Amino acid sequence: MNVDFVREYCLSLARATESLQWGETLCFRIGRGGKIFAMLSLNEVPPGLSLKTDPERFAELTEIEGIVPARYVGRYKWITLERLDVLAAHELQSLIKNSYHMVAQKMPKITLRKDVDRKVARFTQERIASIPQLTLPQQPASLISPQ
């Protein structure tokens, strides 16, 4: 498990974006400027990953060596994996996806809808621009009769 794998997986989720914040922390959000569902600390060696979990899993996961409550947001059931190899790849993918869904459920539906509408509008504009312009042949003036 490495930084590139985590980054690619996070960005493969619908509407996921990334931004660098707080020095060298790569934040993965739902939508542009939306809520964070994962944080990858690039300034630590080895890099750490913070994710939201449900209360039941929080207690279970924090008993594993290398997984601790996240700094500042642990009370909201966020965990930090001190190393990316603490869990198997499929377990980590499952935690990332679960974090994504938990955060998405808390987002206002209008925010999610606006983000989808923007993408649809951009796609539609690109499709319209790619269609060749249709030109109709000019009809002779003698065929056009005023009424």
In a domain, 36, yes or no: yes
* Distance from C-alpha of 128 to C-alpha of 118, rounded to nearest angstrom: 15
For residue 51, the model assigns a pLDDT of 93
Domain CATH number, residue 100: 3.90.1150.30
User: 77 pLDDT exceeds 90?
Assistant: no
In a domain, 7, yes or no: yes
In a domain, 72, yes or no: yes
For residue 32, the model assigns a pLDDT of 75
In a domain, 56, yes or no: yes
Residue 6's Cβ-count burial label (10 Å; 0-12, 13-18, 19+) is buried
Sheet containing 36-41: which strands, arranged edge to edge?
16-21, 25-30, 36-41, 48-52, 78-81, 67-69
For residue 115, the model assigns a pLDDT of 54
Cis peptide preceding 132, ω within 30 of 0:
no
In a domain, 105, yes or no: yes
In a domain, 134, yes or no: no
Q: How many domains does the chain have?
A: 1
Taking only the tens place, the pLDDT of each residue in 2-54 is 888 888 888 888 888 888 888 888 888 887 778 888 988 887 778 889 999 98
Residue 14, helix vs strand vs coil: coil
In a domain, 143, yes or no: no
Taking only the tens place, the pLDDT of each residue in 85-131 is 888 888 888 889 989 888 888 877 655 555 555 555 555 556 555 65
* Direct distance between the N- and C-terminal alpha carbons of the chain, in angstroms, rounded to an integer: 77
In a domain, 111, yes or no: yes
User: 83 pLDDT exceeds 90?
Assistant: no
For residue 122, the model assigns a pLDDT of 58
